[in-house]
């Protein structure tokens, strides 16, 4: 897989992630800053590193599965793994300026 193909797949994954919303906050998980890394390997395997707004988040089980399934649906992705991390812990500073404006935080 070429560098350009990997970049295109990563871009399409980002677009897909912008269509997944936190059920408690009306903002997508990308703009919330919950996605720390998107990495596509040469073999088409995608690794997503993400966090949750809190360790005891009510969607701790379902949200990572939704992310994985959505990533698997992206053309060119041959497999996917979603890793949850709390390092660094999520806070409101990770929210994009656009989302902060939408949430009335600016």
Over residues 65-103, the pLDDT tens digits come to 999 999 999 999 999 999 999 999 999 999 999 899 888
In what helix (H) or strand (E) does residue 82 lie, and over which residues does it extend? strand 79-84
Confidence of residue 17 (pLDDT cuts 50, 70, 90): very high
Instruction: Determine the pLDDT at residue 96.
Output: 94
Helix (H, G, I), strand (E, B) or coil at 16: helix
Q: Above pLDDT 90, what percent of the chain?
A: 77
Report whether 79 contacts 44 (CB < 8 A): yes
Q: What is the DSSP letter of 86?
A: -
Per-residue model confidence (pLDDT) at position 54: 85
Residue 1: predicted pLDDT: 84
The CA distance from 10 to 4, in Å, is: 10
Average pLDDT across the chain, whole number: 93
Report the C-alpha gap between 78 and 57 in whole angstroms: 29
Tokens at 104, concatenated: 């009335």
- From 24, 31, 29, select the one nearest 82 (Cα to Cα): 29
Cα 18 from chain centroid? 8
pLDDT value of residue 22: 84
Residue 36: phi and psi, rounded to 5, are: -90, -35
Is this model's pTM higher than 0.95 or not? no
Going along the chain from its start, the domains and CATH numbers come out as: 3-90 (3.30.300.130)
pLDDT band at 35; cut points 50, 70, 90: very high
Higher-scoring residue by pLDDT: 54, 33: 33
């Amino acid at each position: 897989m070429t560098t350009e193909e990997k970049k295109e797949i990563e871009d399409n994954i980002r677009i897909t992630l912008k269509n997944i919303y936190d059920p408690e906050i009306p903002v997508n998980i990308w703009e919330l800053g919950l996605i720390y890394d998107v990495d596509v390997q040469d073999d088409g395997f995608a690794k997503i590193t993400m966090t949750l707004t809190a360790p005891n988040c009510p969607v701790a089980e379902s949200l990572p599965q939704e992310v994985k399934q959505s990533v698997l649906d992206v053309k060119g992705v041959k497999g996917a793994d979603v890793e949850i991390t709390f390092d660094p812990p999520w806070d409101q500073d990770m929210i994009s300026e656009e989302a902060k404006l939408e949430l009335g935080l600016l």
